[in-house]
Structure 1
Amino acid sequence: GGRMRAVVEAVLSSNRLKLTIPAQSTVLAFSLNGVRAPAPARRGGGGDAPRDAEPYGDEALLSVRHRVLQREVDVEVVTCDKSGAFLGSMYIGNDPSRMEDLSVMLVRDGLARVMRRDAPPELKAAESAAKSSKLRIWESYVEPTEEELAAAAAGGGSQNGAGNSAGGAGARPDTRETFDAMVTEIEERGAFWAQRASNQATIERIQGALKEAGASAAPPASRFAVGTMVMCQFSSDKQWYRASVESAAKDGSSYDVFYVDFGNCESVTADRMRPLTPDLLSTPPLAQHFQLAYVRVPSYNADGGSEAVELLGEVLFQGMCSFRVEETEKGEGKGPRLSATIHKVTVYPKSDAGEASSSSSSSSSAPVSAQAALLQAGLALLHPRGSRPGPHRDEAVRSLKGHEDEARKAHRGIFRYGDPGSDDEL
């Protein structure tokens, strides 16, 4: 907690920076929390496809570099994602009593948009001012009329989320499962893994037992077979976690494993593996597989795919999220990863007060659901045909369509060259 002094070593994008913390002799990745600037151009190489800049993306990148590169700043960390990147606020200026929030500066200049409804008042005020002045990314912004707001409310909630079931005396009760969960791993195409909040005590118990077992267990005397549950020492933090063996080198020197309580994969050497004790085998895997309902997200190497993964990280790695299951389908394959049930869900980041943002609340320009965030950024297409027909699906598509239309009109993301066509082509 509290602010730390840091030096900005590199500006990787308008939202993501590489910092050194001199007091701790630490280098870390840092992302601005709760805002998103347009993506700059990318030349390609290193496995990444080249891309043109989103409108004002290069200007946003230059603005951040001009303000902070190779300079001392203050940072305040809010949370950390599973990849080790820290999320928070960055403050700049020579006078400690008059330092400015970099996120507010970008939003005020029309070079970033607010991504959370529970954002601080100064961020909301900065975005409102930029919209009123039609600055940069808001140059084509048109304030919705009272009639449009009323129509959106009558059509199944605001345009910000997937909506709740309409009320009324004859309304059927909503039986969809809802729960809180912590996202631990994000994949391509809008898929990710998460731990239910109700399992947090079990996870803490297992991690405590693994820490003790890992410190005393002897290295394996024989090879591990594919499908065996083991405990592995994760490369980033050197802690022990439960894992399933997915493949093995012919000589048994290394293995590909899946961490069953977190959803990520890694290649490990045999000396970082131990047999799992019987008491740790009895608890089923605690990471569950999810995919965003009603939208189709590009694959990682397709246009907009890597940006979609990055944006989902900004939206979902904020702490606990609220989940609503729209439908489920059985995984196809063997082992804990490929056979896991896929829950198609609507996800809402929770506010600092611990309450999920509700689509039935007052209209706001900041997206509520993860689906809305991707659609508004032009990094997904509505995909109603991928879900079962019914009133919930129809209501969700109605409430989300405004975000897709806005991105298409502004030529954001996958719409930068026009309409990409069918969602089956992503």
Structure 2
Amino acid sequence: MYSARKSTLRQFTVLCSRVILLYLFWILSGCAIIVRGQPRGGPPPERQINLSNVRAGALARRAAQSQPDTRDTPDEPWAFQAREFLRKKMIGKEVCFSVEIKTPQGREYGMVYLGKDTSGENIAESLVAEGLATVRREGIRGNNPEQARLCDLEDQAKAAKKGLWSEGGGSHTIRDIKYSIENLRNFVDSMHQKPADGSETPEPFAAEAKFFTESRLLQRDVQIILESCHNQVILGTILHPNGNITELLLREGFARCVDWSMAVYTQGADKLRAAERSAKERKVRIWKDYVAPTANLEQKDRQFVAKVMQIVNADAIVVKLISGETKTIHLSSIRPPRIDGESSQDKDKRFRPLYDIPYMFEAREFLRKKLIGKKVNVTVDYIRAATSGTDIGPGSIPAFPERTCATVTIGGINIAEALVSKGLATVIRYRQDDDQRSSHYDELLAAEARAIKNGKGLHSKKEVPIHRVADISGETQKAKQFLPFLQRAGRSEAVVEHVFSGSRLKLYMPKETCLITFLLAGIECPRGSRNMPGGLQEAEPFSDEATLFTKELVLQREVEVEVEGMDKAGNFIGWLHVDGVNLSVALVEHALSKVHFTAERSSYYKALQTAEEGARQRKDKIWANYEEKPTEEVVQVSEQKERVANYRPMCVTEITDGLRFYTQDVETGAQLESLMETMRAEIAAHPPVEGAFTPRRGDYCLSKFADGEWYRARVEKMESAAKVHVFYIDYGNRETVPSTRLAALPPAFSIRALPAQATEYAFAYIQVPQDEDARADAVDSVVRDIQNTQCLLNVEYMGASCPHVTLQFADTKEDVGLGLVKEGLVMVEVRKEKHLQKMVAEYLKAQESAKTSRLNIWRYGDFRADDADEFGYNR
């Protein structure tokens, strides 16, 4: 007997002397608990402790789904109450325990106490005293005081008829458990909850996430809000006393937001997005490798204020930045109205998206009236990369340039949300892992849900609006029929749809529902480049500036027009007013147009004259090189006077092979130096992307010169990408460069900020030799004497293409052109003007001296008419 008992005892490990402090984590039953220590670098290991010498009832078990012959087992009486007694008393509390025995199977039995030592409440004794557990009396040793105390407590519970010892057997304590619900929807509705979809499936850091949730919720008293049901699974929100577990999981980087349930989340989707955003910013757990869509942008490029210049379509606008640069902004996460397939397009007419796509016109008008000319706040959400597209086969994909997608607000209103709420745009659906979306995506989804519910715009059951707009641009017969009506109407309302040039526009007449081409009366605006039968005609100076001025003032604005007539091509001619400003007068006043003689019979002629006179006196833009021509009376008087000399300091920067030269005004030299210094600093901070600029003839751009520095230039000719002819507008020299050495000219450094500084001139009173050798000698002499030096310049008279001037050396005041004549390098051009005869006589005297000395072209002695022809002179 002794040996058998000794053998049995060898199967156990006695650990009574070892007391361990842990945290109560999970209650398995009335006599079994799970404990965990503090987490270190991850979830801590679990440990199951069974209470020694006591037994509580077994809880109900569901039959194994894989074993059809098994059945569900119900609760034993008072089993659930015993488990609940321990849960409420112990869950989440510090406990200490001592392990008494450990079976070969690894099961541990011991005593558990509340608190940090064995002086705390003995859990087994508490259970027995409440009648929720029985004492295992078999094998009790009389010398064990703990076992004896348990027996005394059980006897007292029996006497008091507590728990298991109460009358009736405890059948009322057995739960009626249902493991499935036949109609989940009715169940959720019976709980008076608003149905919504929701699901969260954390993928990385699964073990840590599970521990995070278990340690806060398992067997805790919580509040549950049933949100919806999905595939026989109830979805809801759990509110812990310390907060919403959903928000906590998101904030700690254990979960990500799920779009399909966010729109109807009753606790406020913005809180969940904010929690997720916090985790992303801190790059915790599943976001440890997260890179924000705008991480590569500077703060000034992420958020800025800009002025809306144009509405491109229902999801794109053009804005003007503080720097003067224009930028196209796409509204994040929305799609404008579109047409499905080609069947809806009328094959018998030109397809015009603005008028032919349902609700496109309404969307554009909504944005135009809200935004055009207004300042807005722009917050960039993401940059959509450019796509190359494909044009192969019927399923071709169009190519798109890089898109800046942003949230645009005005007066606190999200324009995209307002557009969607009116049913004038739809929300783009993304993959769950696609982070390139609006920062207010949930608001957009909610706005779309409202629009669908209320049947607005694109979601309406009514017939789509039809816009029958007649385009009579270039339709001479239709224009003739329409002309008398417009003339009688006086001032008519219109919207500027397009600006072709400074004085040529396309207008939409809302009352007449037609489109017309409109020419500004009374002015002569610089013409842009045009394709002519003989090739491309170059743009006149300041034509681009005039076009930009008109765009900024009237594009997509509501204006008033007075039609006076029409031309042979069916274009209407008249006056345009915007906010009380006559556009013709404004162009003249800003030196971007001249007064046309047809304005004399107009009531606006005096205003035009006054504006032009002011621009001439300022010598601004198109009047920069203006020299007032005397009237006939003044000519008669001036013929009796001497030539007037008004020499100005100039720096000669370039001399051409045709003996023309370019100069910079010394007075504006400091402005040019300041602009170049600022421009190069900007380029150094933000270097241009090689090959990103596509040059076109007439474009102003940046060009990298041989010295490695960038200069302002204008594209004169395009042979190929490897051969682009450019003219350096501040210095007068020309160069052929590859397109990779060109870049876009920032608006802050355009000719609006500082006009081109190089001005072309020709020498007065001389003839340029046509013979190459003679001309080369003259050019070499001029280059040697005045290249990159400061001279004094006086305009003598106007030539066919540029002013003709005399130059003097700054120090000696000697006439450079006269010196060329004295050296026999050029011949004199005899002028007929009487006030120039003194200068002509001086030049002829110098020519006779060169003849006598047989210098250069006079080296052959008597220089006859045929000699002049040989040297290319025109006597």
Q: What's the TM-score, normalizing by structure 2?
A: 0.25
Larger Rg: 2
Q: Which has the higher contact order (CA 8 A, sep 6+)?
A: 1
Q: What's the TM-score, normalizing by structure 1?
A: 0.50
